């Protein structure tokens, strides 16, 4: 039996293959990435219609509205993160891989962030203009979104893994994930609001970075564990 | 070599099988038979390490399987009910990510040759969504051909495969076994064309009657109350 | 170390037998303690110089809040035991504790709201403690919902265990964030339950009430656990003999 070199490839190249696969899939059916972005825009549009189109009122609410809309858009896209793999059997191949599952899972979450959180971040200035966010808060909004949306993907992926076998698990996923999102929401909007009042917000940014580091270290373990036990 | 010792599996308060022991040495083909719901898929998933709801011992090359899963997975190819292919990707792209994930470095030429062997030459750049169920199975078998794993665990591989394909697949098993590989397969087919070391195992033989079920429950409860 | 005791404790049958002996003691002691504490607290302690009589709700509010948080910690412990030692009883405990903890959460929120009415003139204030308690309730709801959604017992057990552990890692972060958010927005000036020094005549009945609530929780948990044991072990001989 021909034995192959066990060290010929490492986990990172498997991760690269996964990232490439998921990105290709997103390009082939771009709805996965575009629909949450459209949702993001629409939710933000509802607020001026539902509250008031006043410049003052909206600029006061802008940070919260943009962040809550982004959070819901990420949640919406999380539902299919592992479920599509579960449906076509690709998840078994992932679980059968000799590479460390937390690493592979991290690659999947990274791709998810790239196609959801990152795109939302790029779109955020448009919403900020529509909602009259003061110009001095733009950079704070962008930085918090860049640091915060990966945390949303990581924490939400735990819920996505736990609900991978639940039929119509979208609402359940929301129930599981939203409490975990609260700290990110608090510090991110806090930073933007501080920036609006020309106050320093580096403390908020540091805390968001801490959450991101914690998420990168711990969430893949929880996600991998959840995928293993749910798939029995 | 795979060694299964005194394996029992319980699903939702139903004991599927108990005291199941068998060995699978290199060059052997083992066919698991059993009616629907007998626990064939559960058995394969337990051996593949996808499920841990069992009692008993599993050994891989005389080592406890739980300790050598990383090695085991390098040397094992698992194919479940679903072919595990992304419909938006082409067969070639699917094979590429799967071989990367399984840590088998296979070149484009190697994958093309594998597709050729499963009679899908010319289909390499057509999205899998355009292929039939049987053709999708064949793409998955191309992964099997390309993989260098010694143990093949295949759950109902003959589903959606035509008669010619069945004969071809049996030939593939034979070839793998003659090279020292192992095949663990569930199927309702009789696998009549196999020349090699085919053994059959009927799962019902190990199905527990009600009284055994109780005894096992009792024993477990008294022992340690473990899940 | 001798693990036989540990494993014996994990045996459902053994627990069912021994807990049957605890029941009467738990019933009597929790009832007596809660009654004494409430009569003492509601009728015999002097009124508060600031809040008058309305503060007396702490004799229910504070124990309920304590329990709501403590039950989550116990669930996380049970979750760790479920995942590490695979002890079935720990998962059963995890399952039966979630609705009890959620009930204490609701009780704490409701009494907090009732207390808020005379104190702040409104039913709900975005006070840091109340908000944290509300989020804790969300965590409980998540676990209960997840348990209901997964049909395989073993998978549900492990999934809920993982979720409980994820939750317990997040509780300090959530609490810290909410406290920080609250100081930023300067909500209530008068904090519930935060007294610089509590008069001993108020403290004693409060401690009794907390102890009583703990005993009551143990009683309810044991009762629910016994039912859960019977339903999960219904196929074993001892349960069949017990019910026939």
Q: Measuring CA to CA, which residue among C215, C61, C197, C29 is closest to residue C127? A: C61
Determine which of A40-44, A213-217, B9-13 has the lowest per-residue pLDDT on average: B9-13
Give the pLDDT of residue B217.
Answer: 46
Top-ranked range on mean pLDDT: pick from A94-103, A206-215, B118-127, C191-200: A206-215
Q: Is the dihedral of CA C232, C237, C240, C241 positive or negative?
A: negative
DSSP for residue C56: G
Residues in chain B closer than 8 A to C154 (CB atoms):
53, 227
Tell me if chain A has a CB within 8 Å of the CB of B227.
no
CB contact under 8 A, C11 and B225: yes
CB contact under 8 A, A97 and B102: yes
Rounded to 5 degrees, φ, ψ at B107 are: -75, 170
Given the structure tokens 């265990």, which residue do they identify? C161
Tell me if chain B has a CB within 8 Å of the CB of C95.
no
Q: What is the pLDDT of residues C92-113, one digit of tens each?
A: 999 999 999 999 999 999 999 8
CB atoms within 10 A of CB A197: 10
DSSP for residue C87: B
In a domain, C19, yes or no: no
Spatial separation of the C-alpha atoms in residues B162 and B79, rounded to whole Å: 18
Spatial separation of the C-alpha atoms in residues C56 and C41, rounded to whole Å: 7
Determine which of A80-94, A150-164, A215-229, B43-57 has the lowest per-residue pLDDT on average: B43-57
What separation in angstroms does the CA of B193 have from each of A128, B30, B166, B170, B172?
69, 14, 9, 7, 11
Spatial separation of the C-alpha atoms in residues B16 and B27, rounded to whole Å: 28
Q: Which of B51, B93, B180 sits opposite A24 (nearest CB)?
A: B93
pTM for this structure? 0.89
C-alpha angle C103/C108/C113, rounded to 5°? Answer: 125
Distance (Å) from the alpha carbon of B159 to chain C's nearest alpha carbon: 27
Neighbours of chain C (3+ CB pairs under 8 A): A, B
- Hey, is B9 helix, strand or coil? strand
Burial class (CB in 10 A: 0-12, 13-18, 19+), B130: exposed
In a domain, C142, yes or no: yes
Tell me if chain B has a CB within 8 Å of the CB of C91.
yes
In a domain, C49, yes or no: no
**Element of type H or E holding A172:** helix A170-196
How many beta-carbon contacts under 8 Å exist across A and C?
Answer: 74
Is residue B165 pLDDT above 70, yes or no?
A: yes
Determine which of B100-104, B184-188, B195-199 has the lowest per-residue pLDDT on average: B195-199
CB atoms within 10 A of CB C163: 24
Is residue C48 pLDDT above 90, yes or no?
A: no
CB contact under 8 A, C170 and A180: yes
Q: Measuring CA to CA, which residue among B154, B205, B220, B206 is closest to residue B183? A: B154
Pick the residue from chain A with its C-alpha nearest to B99. A14
Q: Which of A3, A98, A231 sits opposite B50 (nearest CB)?
A: A231
Is residue C204 pLDDT above 70, yes or no?
A: yes
CB contact under 8 A, A88 and B98: no
- Tokens read off for B223: 């022992």
What separation in angstroms does the CA of C235 have from each of A226, B206, C240, C242?
29, 20, 7, 11
Cα B12 to its chain centre, rounded Å, is: 23
Going by pLDDT thresholds of 50, 70 and 90, the confidence category of residue C6 is: low
Q: Which of B70, B76, B100 sits opposite A13 (nearest CB)?
A: B100
The DSSP code sequence of A38-58 is HHHHHHHHHHHHHS---HHHH
Residues in chain A closer than 8 A to B71 (CB atoms):
98
The DSSP code sequence of C65-79 is HHHHHHHHHHHHHHH
Distance (Å) from the alpha carbon of B217 to chain A's nearest alpha carbon: 21
Neighbours of chain B (3+ CB pairs under 8 A): A, C
Distance (Å) from the alpha carbon of C96 to chain B's nearest alpha carbon: 17
Spatial separation of the C-alpha atoms in residues A103 and B70, rounded to whole Å: 14
Pick the residue from chain B with its C-alpha nearest to C8. B224
Residues in chain A closer than 8 A to C158 (CB atoms):
229-230
Distance (Å) from the alpha carbon of C140 to chain A's nearest alpha carbon: 9
Mean residue pLDDT of chain C comes to: 86
Pick the residue from chain C with its C-alpha nearest to B221. C11
Residues in chain B closer than 8 A to A95 (CB atoms):
50
Residue C240 CB partners (closer than 8 Å, separation 6+): C234
Mean residue pLDDT of chain A comes to: 91
Given the structure tokens 């049957």, which residue do they identify? C20
Q: Which of B11, B217, B224 sits opposite C235 (nearest CB)?
A: B217
Residues in chain A closer than 8 A to C83 (CB atoms):
225
Going by pLDDT thresholds of 50, 70 and 90, the confidence category of residue C197 is: low
What separation in angstroms does the CA of C114 have from each of A130, A164, C31?
41, 40, 24
In a domain, C236, yes or no: yes
Q: Which of B213, B224, B227 sits opposite C91 (nearest CB)?
A: B227
Is residue C188 pLDDT above 70, yes or no?
A: no
pLDDT above 70 covers what percent of chain C? 90
Going across the sheet that includes B54-60, the strands are B14-24, B2-11, B54-60, B63-64
Residues in chain C closer than 8 A to A175 (CB atoms):
138, 141-142, 145
Average pLDDT (A203-226) is 95
Buried b / exposed e across A120-130, counting CB within 10 Å, b at 16+?
A: bbebbeebbeb
Give the pLDDT of residue A2.
Answer: 38
Going across the sheet that includes B197-202, the strands are B76-79, B151-155, B182-186, B28-33, B197-202
Residues in chain A closer than 8 A to C179 (CB atoms):
none
Residues in chain C closer than 8 A to B16 (CB atoms):
none
Residues in chain B closer than 8 A to A20 (CB atoms):
97
Residues in chain C closer than 8 A to A229 (CB atoms):
155, 158-159, 162
**Element of type H or E holding B28:** strand B28-33
Alpha helices in A79-116 (DSSP H): 80-88, 90-95, 101-115
- Tokens read off for A22: 């998921």
Average pLDDT (B13-33) is 85
Going by pLDDT thresholds of 50, 70 and 90, the confidence category of residue B17 is: confident
More confident residue, C237 or A69: A69
SS3 of B184-210: the string is EEECCCCCCCCCCEEEEEEHHHHCCCH
Q: Taking phi first (over 0 means left), then psi (-120 to 50 degrees means alpha), and beta for anything else, what does residue B156 get?
A: left
- Hey, is B4 helix, strand or coil? strand
Check: CB of residue B124 under 8 Å from CB of residue B112: yes
* N residues, chain B: 227
Which domain range does residue C72 map to? 57-189+198-243
Residue C57 CB partners (closer than 8 Å, separation 6+): C111, C114, C115
Check: CB of residue A98 under 8 Å from CB of residue A164: no
Q: Which of C83, C149, C167 sits opposite A166 (nearest CB)?
A: C149
In a domain, C1, yes or no: no
Q: Which of A18, A89, A228 sits opposite B97 (nearest CB)?
A: A18
ipTM above 0.85, yes or no: yes
- Hey, is A49 helix, strand or coil? helix
Determine which of A165-169, C162-166, C209-213, C224-228 has the lowest per-residue pLDDT on average: A165-169
Spatial separation of the C-alpha atoms in residues C69 and C62, rounded to whole Å: 11
Q: Measuring CA to CA, which residue among A228, A183, A178 is closest to residue C142? A: A178
Give the pLDDT of residue A18.
Answer: 93
Count structural domains, chain C.
Answer: 1
Q: Which of A179, A218, A229 sits opposite C174 (nearest CB)?
A: A179
Check: CB of residue C28 under 8 Å from CB of residue C75: no
Rg (CA), chain C: 20
Spatial separation of the C-alpha atoms in residues B166 and B159, rounded to whole Å: 9
* B160 HSE (CA, 13 A, CB side): 15
Buried b / exposed e across C201-229, counting CB within 10 Å, b at 16+?
A: ebeebbebbbbbbbbbbebbbbebbbebb
Spatial separation of the C-alpha atoms in residues C136 and C102, rounded to whole Å: 8
Spatial separation of the C-alpha atoms in residues A10 and A98, rounded to whole Å: 10
Check: CB of residue C236 under 8 Å from CB of residue B217: yes
CB contact under 8 A, A175 and C138: yes
Residues in chain A closer than 8 A to B127 (CB atoms):
28
Most C CBs within 10 Å, among A86, A158, A165, A179, to test the C interface: A179
Give the pLDDT of residue B218.
Answer: 46
Pick the residue from chain B with its C-alpha nearest to A96. B73
**Element of type H or E holding B169:** helix B163-178
Give the pLDDT of residue C3.
Answer: 53
Give the pLDDT of residue C193.
Answer: 52
CB contact under 8 A, B51 and A231: yes
* N residues, chain A: 232
Q: What's the first-to-final CA gap in chain C, in angstroms?
A: 39
Rounded to 5 degrees, φ, ψ at B8 are: -135, 150
Is residue C1 pLDDT above 50, yes or no?
A: no
Pick the residue from chain A with its C-alpha nearest to C181. A186
Check: CB of residue A216 under 8 Å from CB of residue A107: no
Check: CB of residue A159 under 8 Å from CB of residue A176: yes
Going by pLDDT thresholds of 50, 70 and 90, the confidence category of residue A7 is: very low
Most A CBs within 10 Å, among C173, C175, C176, C187, to test the A interface: C173
In a domain, C233, yes or no: yes
Q: Which of B93, B101, B104 sits opposite A4 (nearest CB)?
A: B104
Pick the residue from chain A with its C-alpha nearest to C166. A222
Q: What is the pLDDT of residues B64-80, one digit of tens each?
A: 888 888 888 888 999 98
Spatial separation of the C-alpha atoms in residues A198 and B222, rounded to whole Å: 68
User: Residues of A near C (CB-CB distance < 8 A)?
Assistant: 158, 162-163, 165-166, 169, 172, 175-176, 178-180, 182-183, 186-187, 190, 211, 214, 218, 222, 225-226, 229-230, 232
Given the structure tokens 């196929």, which residue do they identify? C235
């Amino acid at each position: 039996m021909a034995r192959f070199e066990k060290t010929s490839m490492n986990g990172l190249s498997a991760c690269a293959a996964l990232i490439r696969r998921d990105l290709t899939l997103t390009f082939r059916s771009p709805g996965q990435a575009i629909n949450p972005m459209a949702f993001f825009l629409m939710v933000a549009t509802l607020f001026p219609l539902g509250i008031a189109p006043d410049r003052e009122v909206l600029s006061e609410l802008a940070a919260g509205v943009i962040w809550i809309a982004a959070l819901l858009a990420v949640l919406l896209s999380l539902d299919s993160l592992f479920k599509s793999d579960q449906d076509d059997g690709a998840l078994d191949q992932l679980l059968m891989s000799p590479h460390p599952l937390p690493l592979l899972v991290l690659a999947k979450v990274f791709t998810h962030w790239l196609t959801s959180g990152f795109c939302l971040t790029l779109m955020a200035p448009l919403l900020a203009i529509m909602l009259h966010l003061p110009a001095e808060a733009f950079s704070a909004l962008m930085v918090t979104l860049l640091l915060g949306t990966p945390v949303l993907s990581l924490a939400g992926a735990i819920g996505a893994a736990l609900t991978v076998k639940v039929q119509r698990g979208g609402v359940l996923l929301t129930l599981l994930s939203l409490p975990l999102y609260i700290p990110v929401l608090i510090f991110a909007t806090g930073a933007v609001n501080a920036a609006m009042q020309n106050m320093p917000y580096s403390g908020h940014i540091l805390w968001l970075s801490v959450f991101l580091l914690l998420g990168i270290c711990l969430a893949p373990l929880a996600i991998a564990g959840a995928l293993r036990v749910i798939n029995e | 070599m795979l060694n299964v010792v005194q394996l029992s599996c319980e699903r939702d308060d139903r004991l599927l099988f108990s005291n199941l022991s068998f060995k699978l040495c290199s060059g052997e083909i083992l066919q698991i038979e059993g009616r629907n719901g007998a626990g064939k898929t559960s058995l394969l998933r337990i051996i593949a390490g996808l499920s841990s709801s069992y009692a008993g011992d599993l050994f891989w090359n005389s080592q406890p399987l739980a300790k050598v899963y990383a090695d085991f997975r390098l040397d094992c190819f698992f194919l479940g009910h679903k072919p595990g292919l992304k419909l938006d990707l082409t067969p070639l792209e699917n094979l590429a990510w799967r071989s990367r994930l399984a840590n088998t470095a296979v070149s484009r030429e190697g994958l093309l040759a594998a597709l050729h062997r499963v009679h899908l030459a010319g289909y390499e750049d057509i999205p899998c969504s355009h292929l039939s169920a049987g053709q999708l199975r064949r793409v998955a078998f191309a992964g099997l051909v390309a993989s260098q794993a010694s143990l093949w665990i295949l759950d109902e591989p003959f589903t959606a495969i035509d008669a010619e394909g069945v004969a071809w697949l049996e030939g593939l098993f034979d070839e793998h076994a003659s090279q020292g590989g192992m095949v663990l397969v569930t199927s309702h087919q009789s696998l009549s064309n196999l020349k090699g070391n085919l053994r059959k195992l009927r799962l019902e033989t190990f199905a527990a009657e009600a009284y055994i079920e109780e005894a096992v429950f009792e024993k477990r409860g008294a022992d340690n109350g473990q899940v | 170390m001798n693990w036989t005791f540990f494993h014996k404790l994990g045996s459902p049958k053994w627990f069912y037998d021994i807990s049957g002996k605890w029941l009467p003691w738990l019933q009597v002691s929790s009832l007596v303690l809660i009654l004494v504490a409430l009569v003492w607290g509601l009728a015999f302690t002097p009124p508060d110089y600031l809040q008058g009589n309305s503060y007396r709700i702490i004799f229910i509010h504070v124990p309920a809040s304590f329990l709501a948080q403590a039950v989550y910690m116990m669930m996380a412990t049970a979750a760790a035991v479920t995942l590490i030692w695979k002890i079935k009883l720990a998962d059963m405990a995890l399952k039966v504790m979630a609705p009890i903890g959620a009930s204490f959460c609701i009780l704490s929120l409701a009494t907090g709201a009732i207390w808020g009415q005379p104190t702040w003139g409104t039913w709900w204030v975005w006070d840091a403690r109340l908000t944290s308690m509300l989020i804790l309730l969300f965590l409980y709801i998540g676990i209960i919902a997840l348990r209901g959604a997964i049909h395989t017992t073993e998978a549900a057990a492990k999934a809920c265990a993982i979720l409980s552990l994820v939750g317990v890692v997040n509780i300090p972060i959530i609490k810290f964030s909410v406290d920080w958010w609250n100081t930023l927005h300067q909500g209530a000036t008068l904090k519930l339950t935060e007294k610089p020094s509590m008069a001993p005549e108020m403290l004693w009945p409060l401690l009794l009430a907390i102890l009583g609530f703990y005993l009551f929780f143990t009683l309810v948990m044991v009762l629910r656990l016994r039912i859960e044991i019977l339903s999960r072990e219904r196929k074993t001989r001892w349960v069949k003999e017990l019910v026939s």
